[in-house]
């Protein structure tokens, strides 16, 4: 089961994005999404260029939130597309494989469309209630999430309110992995957290 961490530098006392991201890469997450919507292009590009070589060295796929162009220019591993972002098909044309295109989805129809348009994987949620996904309404719950996993032809990452106690139910529902912000970024020791999750799984 793959571990997909999503950054939020406000959850770190220092607010140092590179330090937070580097710690997660070295701790052994499989995918790291840089999700810092209030960074200007120049700052974001600079962060990506620092992190991309380190991610490759540690076998982590580095994704950029919503910016396929910056992913291509910075040497990152791909892009994560918000549900209201550019189409999956457009991102796929810009980022040929092995660069990765991941789509944020909130329904079965969205997952099926993403797969048809060339996504490599999807994040689906919110599975449970979580502060970052309140705009998308009530959580879908495990039953609906599991139904999506059953029909999807591409890997599905569960997202939203997943903590250590909820890892096993999400995996049992058919997830290829778990995606989270707080689980990975609110911890004081990413190394211990990632190892504890690996042990549980």
Q: What is the pTM of this model?
A: 0.95
For each successive 10 residues of the chain (201 residues), what is the average pLDDT? 95 85 97 94 95 98 96 96 94 96 97 98 94 71 97 97 94 97 93 93 83
Alpha helices in the chain (DSSP H): 17-27, 41-57, 68-74, 88-94, 108-116, 141-151, 167-172, 182-185, 190-200
Q: Cα separation of 198 and 187, whole Å?
A: 15
- Omega before 98 cis (within 30°)? yes
Task: Give the pLDDT score at 12.
Answer: 78
Write down all domains in the chain, each with its CATH number in brackets: 2-200 (3.20.20.70)
Long-range contacts of 106-113 (CB under 8 A, 24+ apart): 106/136, 106/140, 107/148, 108/147, 108/148, 108/151, 110/83, 111/148, 111/151, 111/152, 111/154, 111/156, 112/151, 112/152, 113/88
Q: Is 48 exposed, middle or buried, given 0-12, 13-18 or 19+ CB atoms closer than 10 A?
A: buried
Task: Give the pLDDT score at 96.
Answer: 95
Closest CA to 126 of 104, 152, 102, 111: 104
Q: Cα separation of 52 and 68, whole Å?
A: 14
């Amino acid at each position: 089961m793959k571990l997909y961490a999503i950054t939020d530098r406000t959850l770190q006392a220092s607010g140092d994005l590179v330090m937070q991201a580097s710690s997660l890469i070295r701790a052994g997450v499989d995918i790291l999404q840089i999700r810092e919507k209030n960074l200007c292009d120049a700052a974001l590009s600079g962060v990506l260029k620092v992190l991309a070589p380190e991610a490759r060295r540690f076998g982590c796929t580095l994704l950029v939130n919503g910016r396929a162009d910056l992913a291509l220019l910075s040497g990152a591993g791909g892009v994560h597309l918000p549900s209201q972002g550019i189409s999956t098909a457009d991102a796929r044309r810009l980022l040929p494989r092995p660069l990765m295109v991941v789509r944020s989805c909130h329904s079965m129809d969205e997952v099926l469309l993403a797969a048809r348009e060339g996504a490599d994987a999807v994040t689906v949620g919110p599975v449970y209630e979580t502060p970052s996904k309140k705009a998308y309404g009530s959580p879908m719950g495990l039953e609906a999430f599991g139904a999506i996993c059953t029909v999807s032809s591409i890997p599905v990452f569960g997202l939203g309110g997943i903590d250590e106690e909820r890892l096993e139910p999400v995996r049992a529902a058919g997830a290829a992995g778990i995606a989270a912000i707080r689980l990975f970024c609110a911890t004081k020791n990413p190394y211990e957290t990632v190892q504890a999750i690996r042990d549980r799984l």
